[in-house]
């Protein structure tokens, strides 16, 4: 029994770091065509997701109320989006809690004074079917044309420093392109 537990723990150890690191995504991956969908915000407005594109890097953060690392990551990303707002960085959070939790999600967003759009995906279709979400927390850095620049799975305090570097790199890349 101990041998089985050790083998299982070793296998998890080998697989875990790979899932928690940022994953570069090939330049040819475009999801822009799939982004022409409407989604409701916590304020009750219906928006077309594609309207968030084209202005600069877009940081998309998938989260749920029950996920503490999600809430920590969202707070860290809020700081980043505020820091780089003048560089064209926009943030959008997509909540994946079930319909019966929408009131709690709205209350949480109000108490946290979130000043970026928080979208509702109560059945998880957007997260899974359009953005290929693997697990929570899940975040993407999208280029203005909808190309996935980086994806992150999981969150540990301090991970936002890597995201900050990636945003700086993308901002510089976009400035070079003119």
Phi and psi for 156 in degrees, rounded to 5? -130, 140
Query: CA 163, CA 58: separation in Å to the nearest integer?
Result: 12
pLDDT at 145: 87
If phi > 0 it is left, if psi is from -120 to 50 it is alpha, else beta; for residue 54 that is left
Q: Decide if pLDDT at 28 tops 50.
A: no
For the segment 65-77, the average pLDDT, to the nearest whole number, is: 95
pLDDT of residue 33: 64
Where do the structural domains in the chain lie, given as residue ranges? 22-177
pLDDT at 18 > cutoff 80: no
pLDDT band at 59 (very low <50, low <70, confident <90, very high): very high
Helix, strand, coil share of the chain (percent; to 5): 45, 20, 35
Question: Class assignment of domain 22-177?
Answer: alpha beta
Residue 130's pLDDT band (cuts 50, 70, 90):
confident
Res 29: pLDDT: 41
Residue indicated by tokens 């079930």: 98
């Amino acid at each position: 029994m101990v041998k089985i537990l050790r083998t299982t723990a070793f296998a998890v150890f080998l697989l875990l770091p790979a899932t928690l690191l940022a994953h570069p995504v090939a330049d040819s991956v475009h999801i822009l065509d799939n982004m022409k969908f409407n989604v409701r915000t916590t304020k009750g407005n219906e928006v077309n997701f594609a309207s968030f594109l084209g202005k600069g890097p877009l940081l998309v953060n998938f989260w749920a109320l029950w996920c503490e690392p999600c809430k920590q990551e969202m707070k860290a990303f809020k700081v980043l989006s505020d820091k780089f707002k003048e560089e064209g960085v926009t943030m959008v959070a997509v909540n994946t809690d079930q319909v019966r939790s929408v009131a709690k999600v709205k209350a949480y967003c109000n108490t946290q004074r979130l000043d970026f759009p928080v979208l509702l995906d109560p059945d998880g279709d957007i997260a899974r079917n359009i953005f290929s979400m693997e697990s929570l927390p899940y975040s993407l850095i999208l280029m203005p044309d909808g190309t996935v620049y980086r994806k992150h799975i999981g969150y540990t305090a301090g991970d936002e420093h890597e995201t900050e570097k990636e945003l700086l790199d993308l901002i510089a890349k976009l400035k070079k392109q003119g």
